[in-house]
Amino acid sequence: MLVSVIGILILAVTVLDALLTVLDANGRSLFSTRAYRLFWWIGRHCAKLLPYPVAQRALSMAAPLMIALMIVLWVSGIVTAFALIFFGGLSVGDFITGGGSQPSLAAAFRLSWVTLSTIGFVEISPSNMAYSVAVALEALLGSVLLTFSITYFLSVHRRILDYDRVVADLHHRMDGRDDPLEIVAERYAAEDIDGLERWLERLHDGLIGMHQGLARYPIVYFYRPQERGRSLQKTLQALGRIADGLTHCLPSPSRSDTSPALRALTAGMSDLVGDLREAYAPMPVGPTPQPVSRAEFETTMRSDTLQGAPSVMRYREICHALGDVADTDSRPGDAYTRYRNWFLADRQTRAFVAAVSHDLGYDEDLRPRRSSYLAALLNRGPKQGPQALHARRAQP
């Protein structure tokens, strides 16, 4: 009886997890999300034992393999659950067996597997109403699970295609350049404000699709393109640079002040970082960096050297990338106010991108650094959740 109760509990957990994973709009699950994390941990550390190019290709296959492994877990859970249910109350005469074999756990697993796969009972069949209902229920769950698996795969695949679409649009527009703000400067120089507005609208639509995909299907987070320039961290870094740069680095009044697409893109970036940082990549805990004083800011901005506070140097780099568009302010103090506003937004974006890069292994060389790597890895065990970065002394 106890074995049957355990089987019922396993069945309930497996079915509920499949229902939540496929149907729940909030991306909740009982164990799927932790299973993804475990699969990624295994794949990431196994890749360290491979040559670097092979490791990169292997990691790009992690997310597709996770779908197959998750389906295998669901199937295994249902087969095991019904096998325990059958075995828990099994006695001589409960099943018709052509060979006259005695009841056994192997026979229960065999009955459970052929029932789920609906290939027929062969020489084993139920002999009472309770078992007849159980095998009918398992056959029905097998059909439902197959439908759910196909639906889940197609939904995840569509979200990954949406992600690839926005990345391709951004990547093709940059045309090999490292700074996406150069595209904005070219649009302003050509006075193609309408074209820039349409491009920002497409980026916002793509960002919304990316946000929904990451929130709805956690497996999308572990999708890793082979080309690093199209990775999640690089995409978020580029989108954040565009949103923060146009919002806070252009003097007022400018067309960006009244741009609906830019406001939507900025709000979309803020929502994505706020919603996903706790679920996937927590921010580092440590001293909060502060903007520099106005005197230091003005000195660094007027200086021709490449030395100064890192945050001011980044701000000046953005202004230079935007070209003449960012150099038309004549009111003292406005630039420093814009810098302070930009600093808060940039700090949040940079911290989130750094956490994502750390969590997905983009900031490591994927090679073991000591002979005892495998033993130390097994002693540590897999991460049970997203790990925060170690706190470092922050610089403004």
Q: What CA–CA distance (Å, rounded) separates 376 from 389?
A: 20
> How does pLDDT run across 153-168, given as a tens digit for each residue?
888 888 888 888 888 8
Note whether 187 and 234 are within 8 A (CB): no
What's the rounded mean pLDDT across residues 190-204? Answer: 81
Percent of the chain with pLDDT over 90: 5
Q: Give the per-residue pLDDT at 370.
A: 43
What's the rounded mean pLDDT across residues 389-395? Answer: 43
User: Which amino acid makes up residue 279?
Assistant: A
Say whether 387 sits in a helix, a strand or coil: coil
Bond into 253 cis (ω within 30): yes
Whether 99 shows a pLDDT value over 50: the answer reads no
Greatest extent of the chain over all pairs of C-alpha atoms, in Å: 96
Q: Give the per-residue pLDDT at 111.
A: 79
Band (176; pLDDT cuts 50, 70, 90) = low
Backbone φ/ψ region at 233: left (φ over 0), alpha (ψ -120 to 50), beta: alpha
Q: Residues in the chain, how many? A: 396
> Residue 56 belongs to what H/E stretch?
helix 52-60
> How does pLDDT run across 21-70, given as a tens digit for each residue?
888 888 888 888 888 888 888 888 887 787 777 777 788 888 888 888 88
- Across the strands, what pairs with 124? 97
> Which tokens belong to 218?
């956690």
Percent of the chain with pLDDT over 70: 76
Greater pLDDT, 113 or 102: 113
> How does pLDDT run across 290-313, given as a tens digit for each residue?
888 888 888 887 777 667 788 888
Q: Give the per-residue pLDDT at 105.
A: 81
Band (78; pLDDT cuts 50, 70, 90) = very high
Whether 10 shows a pLDDT value over 90: the answer reads yes
Report which of 23, 22, 15, 69 is spatially closest to residue 42, judged by C-alpha positions: 69
Q: Give the per-residue pLDDT at 390.
A: 42
Predicted TM-score of the model (pTM): 0.74
Q: What is the mean pLDDT of the chain?
A: 77
Q: Give the per-residue pLDDT at 395.
A: 46
Whether 96 shows a pLDDT value over 70: the answer reads no
Band (94; pLDDT cuts 50, 70, 90) = low
> How does pLDDT run across 83-92, given as a tens digit for each residue?
888 886 666 5
